[in-house]
Chain A
Amino acid sequence: MFKREIYRKILIYALTFLFAFPLLILILWAFSGQWPWPNLFAESFTLEGWKYFIDPANGALESLATSVIIGAAVTFITLVISIPAGKAMGLYNFPGKGAVKILVLAPLIVPPLAVTMGIHINFMLLGLADKLIGVILVHLIPTLPYSIRIMTHTFEGLGDKFEAQARVLGAGTIQRFIHVTLPLISPGLFSAGILVFIISFSQYLLTFLIGGGRIITFTMLLFPLVNSGDRMLAAVYSLVFIVSALIFTLLMERVLVNPKQKTDHFYI
């Protein structure tokens, strides 16, 4: 019995190592100057890549800001739409619920690439293409299903008893929402918000198609670097990306989550 526990630990550590190892390599490459085959360690270390990144002429920080702005806008809009939708799906039964469920989940399965290619020409006709607003709108397609799904589960778990209680005690609609519902759904909002931000932040293809090369997000710069095989520079940009995403996660946690109710946030 005890032996089995040790095997299990070794196995879990080994698998976790496999997930972490590529990130380790990424960090090494971000600081490596000369690192020819077959050396296991770089011959020289350098901050060249970081200097290139910081240099305003290369527009990296500006594009990072664009990504954050788009991500924040998408997160806000998606959450505002998903709270009532999740409440409806989680608390009520109504005719047509099955069809709505399919419509909500379908964008998870149908490739966003196909949807975006279909809608592109109409975005052009409506003057939404090549604009920030168009990119924000198109990012709603892959993000909404996740956040509605999370909010549905949140409301299912919560029930409507708390709100009813507050109503009995004389609280109005807005009071009920701010003082009762919002604090109770904040863990769900947190997981949804993070997931939505990450999906928007990571988006390449949709931004490229609808933004038409005019809206330069961070992934627009990263993609050609990876494609051309510039290992050091691509590693630098990648690290910046991962750290930015982590910082956002921590910020969201500060704002939304009561330290007493920290659980597994990513329940999808």
Chain B
Amino acid sequence: MFKFRFNKWYPYLLLSPALIVLLLLFLGGVILGLSQSLGYFPVLGLEDPTFKYYLEVWSSTEFLHSLAFSLFISFVSASLTTVIGVFFAYQLLKMRNENKIINFLYKLPIIVPHIIASLMIFLILTQSGILSRFAYHLGIIDEIAQFPRLVFDKNGFGIIAAYLWKQIPFVVLMVYTVLKQINGSFEAAAKNLGASESQVFREIYLPLTAPSIASAFIIIFAFSLGSFEIPYLLGPTYPQTLSVLAYKNYISLDLTQRPYTMVIAMSLTMITVILIIIYRKILSLISRYHID
């Protein structure tokens, strides 16, 4: 009898430290942020919940431009990252002998923080950067001003480049690990029946890795959306991404602005929650391919 009760509560006991931390810090943070964005902010003397701040922020052009800019950057960088990452992982899998140097080098960006990734993209892509110097020596441009603005530009080119450099290795790692576990006899059988290499990829490897590819895409999309350093260091002064907008509003010392800032932060949160819901829908759609 005692043993039964013990077993029943055992998993919760094991989980309790993690749950306490996650509930207090994470869920607590989200709930407090939400109530502040709704104008419940006792420290400031605001106690009546209202949608006023949401209506004001969501109808401002600056916010809408930032929203569009953020979504554009996240979507482009997450799509490119996923496609290139999956391709690279597949090539790595097909390479006959493992190469230690390559295995080390391609993982290096994972330990390099975003600030340093921004610096490197700046050193290479800025108008006086390395690429512009190569362009001069190849005779493509004659003076510095002819080189296009690739950082601090309105299209977010520099930001996307930095995200790609930083995140492709992450996708390669995630997908490569899954690819390696796929039973080789599927491929052998397909080849035996006359499948080409692209067919093997499309009909066997792609469906079997689809769930991890989808989760990589969502994680990267959400991360790019909420990340601050790269768009702050490489982005234009206008439009700014939502994260930069929230940060700039937050550090302004005017505390009465705080609910507006929290609306921006909560908008980011809401987009990511919607993403998780979409992700679960997609996952249940593709999981019918999954062989257990």
Q: Which residues of A line the B interface, CB within 8 A?
A: 4-5, 8-9, 11-13, 15-16, 18-23, 25-26, 29, 37-40, 80-82, 84-85, 87-89, 92, 94, 97, 100, 102-104, 106-119, 121-122, 125, 137-138, 140-141, 144, 148, 198, 201-202, 204-205, 209, 219, 222-223, 226-227, 229, 231, 234-235, 238, 241-242, 245-246, 249, 264, 266-268
Contact A110–B18 (Cβ < 8 Å): no
* B42: nearest chain-A partner, CB-CB: A121
Asked if A109 and B219 make an inter-chain contact with CB atoms under 8 angstroms apart, the answer reads yes
B249 nearest in chain A by CB position: A117
In the complex, A229→B128 CA distance in Å?
Answer: 12
- Within the complex, which residue of B12, B91, B273 is in contact with A8, where a contact is CB–CB below 8 Å? B91
Say what secondary structure dominates the interface of chain B: helix
Please give, as numbers and ranges, the residues of chain A lying within 8 Å of B88 by CB-CB distance.
Answer: 12, 15
Q: In the complex, what distance in Å separates the CA atom of A116 from the CA atom of B115?
A: 19
> Which B residues are in CB contact (< 8 Å) with A226?
115-116, 118-119, 122, 233
Q: How far is the CA of A1 from the CA of B85 in the complex (A)?
A: 24
**Nearest neighbor of B279 in chain A, beta-carbon distance:** A109
User: Is B188 an interface position by the 8 A CB rule?
Assistant: no
Q: Is the CB of A100 within 8 A of B19?
A: yes
Interface magnitude class on chain B: 35 or more
- B225 contacts A111, C-beta separation under 8 Å: yes
**Binary contact track B156-186/A, C-beta < 8 Å → 1, others 0:** 0000000001001100011001001000000
Question: Which of B50-58, B203-211, B261-269, B284-292 participates in binding chain A?
Answer: B261-269
CA distance A111 to B265 in the complex (A): 8
The answer to whether B12 and A94 touch across the interface, beta carbons within 8 angstroms, is yes
Distance from A45 Cβ to chain B, minimum over Cβ atoms (Å): 16
List 4 additional A-B contacts (Cβ < 8 Å) besides A11-B91, A113-B228, A140-B21: A23-B120, A108-B219, A115-B25, A267-B177
Partner-contacting stretch, out of B61-69, B75-83, B106-114: B106-114
| B112 CB contact (under 8 Å) in A84, A103, A242 | A242
Interface contact B29-A118, CB-CB below 8 Å: yes
Type the 1/0 row for B223-246, where 1 means its CB is closer than 8 Å to any CB of A.
Answer: 001111100110000000001001
A204 touches B14 (CB 8 A): no
Residue B201 CB within 8 A of the other chain? no
Contact B31 A114 (CB under 8 A): no
- A26, B123: Cβ atoms closer than 8 Å: yes
CA distance A108 to B14 in the complex (A): 22
In the complex, the answer to whether A137 meets B25 with C-beta atoms within 8 Å is yes
Query: Counting CB contacts under 8 A, is B3 at the interface?
Result: no
B95 at the interface (CB under 8 A from A): yes
Q: B113 touching A219 by the CB < 8 A rule? A: yes
Partner of B268, one of A16, A113, A202, A268: A113
Cα distance A77–B15 in the bound complex, in angstroms: 14
For the A-B complex, the count of residue pairs with Cβ-Cβ distances under 8 Å equals 254
Contact A111 B226 (CB under 8 A): yes
6 A-B pairs with CB atoms under 8 Å apart are A19-B109, A84-B18, A92-B10, A107-B22, A113-B247, A118-B32
B116 touching A111, Cβ below 8 Å: no
Whether a CB of chain A sits under 8 angstroms from the CB of B105 is yes
Mark each residue of chain B from 115 to 150: 1 if its CB lies under 8 Å from any CB of chain A, else 0.
111111111100010101110110000001000000
A12 interface neighbour in B17, B26, B102, B144, Cβ under 8 Å: B102
Q: In whole angstroms, what is the CA distance A199 to B120 when docked?
A: 19
A244 CA / B240 CA spacing, docked (Å): 33
Give A97 to B11 CA distance when docked, in angstroms: 10
A26 touches B250 (CB 8 A): no
Closest chain-B Cβ to A237's Cβ sits at a distance in Å of 9
Contacts of B13 in A (CB 8 A): 84
**How many whole Å from B167's CB to the nearest CB in chain A?**
11
Rounded to whole angstroms, the CA-CA distance of A219 and B228 in the bound complex is 14
Given contacts A19-B105, A26-B119, A117-B246, contact A108 B226 (CB under 8 A): no
- The distance in angstroms between the C-alpha atoms of A198 and B28, with both chains bound, is 25
Decide if A141 touches B25 in the complex (CB within 8 Å): yes
Interface pair B272/A109, CB less than 8 Å apart:
yes
- With A84-B17, A110-B272, A226-B115 already in contact, the answer to whether A8 and B95 are too (CB < 8 A) is yes
A110 lies within 8 A of B132 (CB):
no
Q: Is the CB of B95 within 8 A of A12?
A: yes
